[in-house]
Amino acid sequence: MKIFADKLEDALAKKLPPVVIVSGEEPLQHVEACDAVRAAARQAGVDEREILHVEANFAWGRLTEAAANLSLFATRRLIEVRLGSGKPGQEGAKALRDYAESIKGSDDILLLSTGKLDYREQKSAWFKALDKIGLFVPVWPVDVSRLGFWLRDRASRHGLSLELEAARLLGERTEGNLLAADQELQKLALMLPSGARVGPREIAGGVEDSARYDVFTLMDACLKGERARVTRIMAGLRGEGVEPPIVLWALSRELRILLSIQQHLDQGQSLEHACKAQKPPIFEKRRPAYQQAMARLPLKRLHKLLLFAQRLDLAIKGASSVPLWDGLHDLALTLAGGRGLLAELPSSYRVG
């Protein structure tokens, strides 16, 4: 059964399931979700823990042995399988499926810690077998539209009252890095009295820019038309040394998806059907962003953007004189509905 991280503690207090899968790549929430399972296990009298790190050539028979061996010191155990960012593979999938079938009547708890599981993995036999008898906790990065509320709630945990404008500024400086945001709040809690009200001045004076961005964050901002955020993210990606081909790949991919959606719409299909027809399908949560982009970008503009992306590809290969990072920013900003930065270049370079 799927349950989100902010509801996990309440669910564990009601009943400790035999299996908990914590999946995702957001470090702070991932660690705290696993800690919540460990704390609930201790509270339930589970005082022995066995940890299995899944690395290259891992012998999945160790999981079978762990499940079969009776403990000499405790009646219940917490078995942690740390899968990391990898997938279980054929042998691991079988071992996990067999574990789900053999756990009946056992008091042991399995905590499976893994990176993001895509929709294919969530449809696999091993996942369904474990999910059927336990909890699945997907850990997602906090959406930028909810980040301010998340930060204010987090500040209250540290005995602080965070003003809305202060939350916005802290969000800008730590976006994509919740661990850094929480550390900044902890530092403020040490410097200020309990219950102190934190305004923008305290954030501006004491919080360094610790934001971390990736190309998927950039795509989200482009589709939603968040032009100022697009500029901020592009500067962050360049400063972090992200390679231009990765940025161009992400932008080109979104352009092709938008063109594909438009083609389906021109054939009389609904937006829902057009989104489901993509590979992989666009989940319902992300469809409004694509709808916004479709309303903002006519078909002619999308084709021009794709042509400009091809010129940038030539620039990466040294066959075009288009300024690369300015061109990528121009492409992203125009996709977001803004005016590109290459307006002064010859018309053959412009997005149009």
Q: Which tokens go with 163?
A: 């003003």
Please state which of the four CATH numbers 1.20.272.10, 2.40.30.10, 3.30.450.20, 3.90.1010.20 is assigned to the domain occupying 215-335: 1.20.272.10
* pLDDT for 321: 80
* Per-residue CA distances from 19 to 33, 94, 130, 184, 273 (Å): 13, 16, 7, 34, 35
* pLDDT for 64: 80
Strands (E), 153-298: 161-162, 197-198
* pLDDT for 346: 47
Ranges for all domains in the chain classified under CATH 3.40.50.300: 5-139
* pLDDT for 261: 92
Q: Which CATH superfamily is domain 5-139 in?
A: P-loop containing nucleotide triphosphate hydrolases (3.40.50.300)
CB 251 within 8 A of CB 237: no
Order of strands across the sheet with 48-53? 48-53, 77-84, 109-114, 19-24, 135-139
Residue ranges of the chain with per-residue pLDDT less than 70:
69-74, 86, 105, 206, 208-210, 340-352
Closest by CA position to 82, among listed 59, 117, 112, 58: 112
> Per residue in 285-318, pLDDT tens?
888 999 999 999 988 889 999 999 999 999 998 8
* pLDDT for 208: 65
Give the pairing type, strands 19-24 and 109-114: parallel
* pLDDT for 206: 66
* pLDDT for 147: 87
> Per residue in 96-149, pLDDT tens?
998 888 877 678 899 999 998 888 888 899 999 999 999 999 998 888 888 888
In sequence order, what are the residues at sequence separation of 6 or more whose Cβ sits closer than 8 angstroms to the Cβ of residue 309? 248, 251, 252, 255, 331
* pLDDT for 203: 84
Ranges for all domains in the chain classified under CATH 1.10.8.60: 144-206
Q: What is the pTM of this model?
A: 0.66
Q: Which tokens go with 289?
A: 């962003």
Please state which of the four CATH numbers 2.60.40.2310, 1.10.8.60, 2.40.50.140, 3.40.800.10 is assigned to the domain occupying 144-206: 1.10.8.60
Contacts within 8 Å (CB) and 24+ apart, 318-327? 322/349, 324/244, 325/234, 325/238, 325/244
* pLDDT for 243: 92
Ranges for all domains in the chain classified under CATH 1.20.272.10: 215-335
* pLDDT for 345: 44
